[in-house]
């Protein structure tokens, strides 16, 4: 058994939550029972995720996308239904957003860089720029991408035959492309907008949309192992797959 407030303090210190001006509160968003032994790990808090968690008799949810909005006060409609069973079953909801993107070891982007065998050279936004010692042929790199992200429907705008310097920002970060001109040859993120195809071509940067959901599975999985090790908790990853 572990105490939810001890877990929260441990994660707040590790992820340095005070450094972020986030779109949500990071930490315990809904307080349930204080002593927990089984945690459901996932990307997003929604009804399907909660239904699966209840089937597995968990005491706490740990997610990347919890409840957004620091000052919300309306609990009605779908939102009321979403949290109703959580409160009825005395289950804690704990969520970490930008701090879990940015962490230099357990964050989504550091984990992706590690799995791609990139050497991180500098932070960028809430992500990182990494580099290969020797340029990698794009076809070889593409096969690594398929293996890391476990999906064959990656949206790729290929504008280089080789890959050497790669920027990684999980989730919805198409906004960052223009800031990368002249800095990298490849950009991996999780979403795209209409104008990106042409801008990436004109800038000569290969743009890879690996999916918002998929790029943000890595951090929660890394934290689950940490919780198991440090708090002797049982964790279960619940995959409510989203192709977006």
- Where do the domains of the chain lie, and which CATH numbers do they carry? 2-96 (3.40.1390.30), 103-212 (3.40.1390.30)
Q: 69 versus 195: which is more confidently predicted?
A: 195
Closest CA to 42 of 19, 23, 61: 61
Output the six-digit token pair for 31: 């307080």
Output the six-digit token pair for 175: 């906004």
For 72-90, what is the mean pLDDT?
A: 88
Do the Cβ atoms of 157 and 197 come closer than 8 Å? yes
Residue 129, pLDDT score: 98
Residue 27, pLDDT score: 97
CA distance 168 to 112: 8
Do the Cβ atoms of 174 and 194 come closer than 8 Å? no
Closest CA to 115 of 15, 237, 218: 218
The pLDDT tens digits for 40-50 are 999 999 999 99
Residue 152, pLDDT score: 86
The pLDDT tens digits for 178-195 are 999 999 999 999 999 999
For 23-47, what is the mean pLDDT?
A: 96
Average pLDDT over the chain, rounded to an integer: 96
Residue 172, pLDDT score: 96
Strand 155-157 and strand 2-3: the pairing is unpaired
CA distance 157 to 155: 7
Q: How confident is the model at residue 75 (pLDDT cuts 50, 70, 90)?
A: confident
């Amino acid at each position: 058994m572990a105490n939810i407030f001890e877990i929260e303090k441990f994660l707040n210190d590790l992820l340095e939550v005070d450094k972020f001006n986030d779109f949500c509160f990071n930490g315990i968003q809904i307080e349930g029972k204080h002593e927990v032994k089984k945690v459901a790990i996932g990307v997003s808090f929604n009804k399907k995720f909660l239904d699966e968690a209840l089937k597995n008799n968990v005491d706490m949810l740990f997610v990347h996308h919890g409840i957004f909005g620091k000052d919300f006060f309306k609990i009605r409609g779908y939102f009321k239904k979403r949290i109703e069973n959580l409160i009825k079953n005395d289950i804690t909801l704990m969520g970490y957003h930008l701090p879990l993107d940015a962490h230099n070891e357990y964050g989504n982007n550091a984990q992706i860089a590690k799995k791609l065998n990139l050497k991180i050279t500098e932070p960028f936004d809430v992500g990182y720029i990494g580099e290969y010692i020797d340029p990698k042929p794009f076809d070889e790199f593409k096969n690594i991408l398929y293996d890391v992200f476990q999906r064959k429907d990656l949206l790729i705008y290929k504008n280089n035959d080789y890959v050497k310097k790669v920027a990684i920002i999980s989730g919805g970060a198409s906004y960052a492309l223009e800031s990368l001109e002249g800095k990298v040859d490849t950009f991996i993120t999780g979403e795209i907008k209409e104008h990106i195809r042409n801008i990436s071509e004109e800038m000569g940067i290969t743009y890879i949309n690996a999916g918002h959901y998929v790029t943000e599975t890595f951090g929660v999985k890394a934290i689950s192992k940490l919780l198991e090790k440090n708090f002797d908790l049982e964790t279960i990853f619940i995959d409510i797959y989203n192709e977006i």
